Structure formats: structure tokens, C-alpha cells
Homo-oligomer: A and B are copies of this chain.
């Protein structure tokens, strides 16, 4: 028994590059087009475009085309699945787990933040 969800491969791989995590951070503030995602990234535009496709392959990001602009938004489910997988190890890092749990409670209280 070695094969698990093949989706996890793509999700974790997508999260493993700082440029892609930075893109997700931007997208957590609201929708962005490719130019906006690429701008802070110290690499060529085509390189950034490839990173977006990696995020799409992992289904962490969805894209819609609006005129000449390709607008991206986060899709939450795959990341939630990944977190669920990681939770299986709670017995090992129980102290940290408790800390995370407290963090979750704290965050739940916060008011909703609107789109930019």
C-alpha cells in the first residue's frame, strides 16, 4: 500500500516554491491577474506564468479570462485536504497541536475582511 491521493503530490509540490507561496499570499487578499502576480517576483513574466500553471494543476488556483486579463482566485478545497492529511500526525506533535488549536479559536473570532 503505497499509493494515496495523487492530488496531494501536486498540492505539496506547488507549495514547495517560495514564488508560488508568495502568489497565494497575494491571492489570499483577493483576485489578481498574472501581471500583478508576477510583478513582485524577480523573474521573467513567462517564468511567473509557469508558476501559475503549477498552482492550477494542483487546483489551488482557478483562472478566468476577462478581455486580455487572466484573473486568478484561490480555490480552498485542495489546501484543506492537505491540512487534513497533516492532522493525522497530531499525536506526535501534541504540544504544537494545542498551540495551533488556540490559534484557530482566535482567528475564528476575527471579522471578515473584504476584497481589495
Chain A residues at the B interface, C-beta cutoff of 8 Å: 1-4, 6, 8-9, 12-13, 15-19, 21-22, 24-25, 28, 40-42, 74-77, 79-80, 82-97, 99-101, 103-104, 107-108, 112-113
Q: Are B76's CB and A103's CB within 8 A?
A: no
Nearest B residue to A93 via CB reads: B76
Q: Are B4's CB and A22's CB within 8 A?
A: yes
Q: Are B107's CB and A84's CB within 8 A?
A: no
A97 to B100, CA, bound (A): 13
Note all chain B residues with C-beta closer than 8 A to A6. Answer: 18
Q: Using A3-B18, A12-B15 as known contacts, say yes or no to A87 and B99 having CB atoms under 8 A apart.
A: no
Number of copies: 2
Q: Are B93's CB and A79's CB within 8 A?
A: yes
Nearest B residue to A90 via CB reads: B107
Q: Using A2-B18, A40-B1 as known contacts, say yes or no to A79 and B89 having CB atoms under 8 A apart.
A: yes
A76 to B89, CA, bound (A): 8
A89 to B3, CA, bound (A): 28
* Contact with A92, one of B2, B13, B28, B82 (Cβ below 8 angstroms): B28
Nearest B residue to A84 via CB reads: B100
